[in-house]
């Protein structure tokens, strides 16, 4: 009985239509699923208009060269609900007397973005309370020192 149901003695046009419907139905349903995921997740846009952003490329490159010349480094830590940034100058000394802000978010979505003003900590560095779920995060740091251009740095970190 099963042999006749799944493997008929004669392959007819109805069988071919069924095979074609299953084949193309599978392809169309997979394509629709992928299109839905593509339209409901992060667009991948970094700037609104790439042509306008490209007009400022030389200025941004000059600013980044000046920033790199400072030799500053930054490291992040997250523990007990406190996001902390440690800044060091080119001589590995702590950077103090600056205003530090951090925009923290997930690399591939904007839904968890937040901006924090980091205050000097007694233990050194700068920090602020925030709740971060486990996973990969990115912090866009902006450090303002009096009389100097702001220093900007992007750093990724993992919360366990």
- The DSSP code sequence of 49-117 is -HHHHHTTHHHHHHHHHHHHHHT-EEEEEEETTEEEEEEE-TTSPBP-S-EEEEEEE-TT-STT-EEEE
The structural domain count of the chain equals 2
For residue 98, tell me if it sits in a domain.
yes
For residue 132, tell me if it sits in a domain.
yes
Identify whether residues 35 and 76 lie together within a single domain.
Answer: no
pLDDT for residue 147: 86
Identify whether residues 76 and 153 lie together within a single domain.
Answer: yes
| CATH number, domain with residue 136 | 2.60.40.10
Query: What domain range is 116 assigned to?
Result: 72-159
Identify whether residues 31 and 100 lie together within a single domain.
Answer: no
Residues 75-132 have pLDDT tens digits of 999 999 999 999 999 999 999 999 999 999 998 888 889 999 999 999 889 999 999 9
Identify whether residues 81 and 155 lie together within a single domain.
Answer: yes
For residue 50, tell me if it sits in a domain.
no
For residue 88, tell me if it sits in a domain.
yes
Mean pLDDT of 135-150: 93
């Amino acid at each position: 009985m099963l042999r006749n149901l799944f493997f008929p003695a004669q392959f007819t046009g109805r069988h071919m239509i069924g095979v074609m419907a299953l084949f193309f139905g599978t392809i169309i349903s997979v394509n629709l699923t992928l299109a839905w995921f593509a339209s409901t997740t992060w667009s991948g846009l970094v700037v609104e208009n790439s042509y306008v952003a490209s007009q400022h490329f030389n200025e941004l490159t000059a600013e980044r060269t000046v920033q790199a010349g400072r030799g500053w480094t930054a490291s992040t830590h997250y523990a007990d609900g406190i996001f902390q940034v440690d800044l060091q100058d080119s001589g590995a000394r702590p950077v103090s007397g600056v205003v530090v802000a951090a925009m923290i978010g997930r690399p591939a979505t904007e839904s968890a973005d937040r901006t924090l003003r980091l205050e000097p900590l007694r233990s050194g560095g700068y920090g602020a309370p925030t709740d971060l779920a486990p996973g990969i995060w990115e912090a866009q740091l902006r450090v303002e020192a009096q009389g100097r251009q702001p220093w900007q740095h992007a750093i990724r970190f993992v919360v366990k």
